Amino acid sequence: MNPIRLVAKLTARGVAIDGGGGGGGPVLISATDVAAALGMGRLKPEAILVGRAKFCDDNTAQLQLAGWVQTELHRRCQRAGWKTDYCEGLAQLCVFELIWPYRCTHCYGRGSVWIQQPEYREDQESGTPPVMVDRWLSCGRCKGTGQGRMSVRERAAVAQITKSRFSETWAKRADDMLAELHSLEDTCLRHLWRQFASDAA
């Protein structure tokens, strides 16, 4: 099965996309199953937190993940000699962007847009207007991911930092932390894929 179809089954926010076995009901992997699968294997504790927060809608895990991110940011700031005043707000921002990613406003989260393009047919006489053809094209704004990005002003507001200070100094640091969280999410997804491979087929 396609990993994207598996991810759609992983959460309560996912969509039931196929029929089940004998009963004909939808096949969803429950949050309890996901939490149990995360406990099997050798995942880092922070990867388990990411999995529980993202795929199990576990509010406690979201708070614990924000605490871990805040501690990690604080450690990085102390090591580099930066101020540690904004670690809590940056942690909230990183966890928010990981758990609730924005949808692209251009394609509404689909990753592709429906457009009409003029097309000349081979058998068409010269001088006649082109035929308009409807097509799905990959969204250029989000590069086909379906995910949008918060504006600098919105990100600064969530992090409780002024816009100028955030864009000059803290945006790059927040992006680095968010990239690490996405890496943990990928590790978690690979682990879940192995755990549920027989269910997903």
What pLDDT, in 10s, does the model give residues 29-81?
788 888 888 888 889 999 999 999 988 888 999 999 999 999 999 999 999 99
- Structural domain boundaries of the chain? 3-102+159-200, 103-148
Q: Evaluate if residue 13 carries a pLDDT over 80.
A: no
Report the alpha-carbon distance of residue 115 to residue 113 in Å, rounded: 6
Q: Evaluate if residue 201 carries a pLDDT over 70.
A: no
Does residue 56 contact residue 143 with C-beta atoms inside 8 Å? no
**pTM, whole model, 2 decimals?**
0.71
Per the prediction, the chain carries an average pLDDT of: 82
pLDDT confidence of residue 5: 56
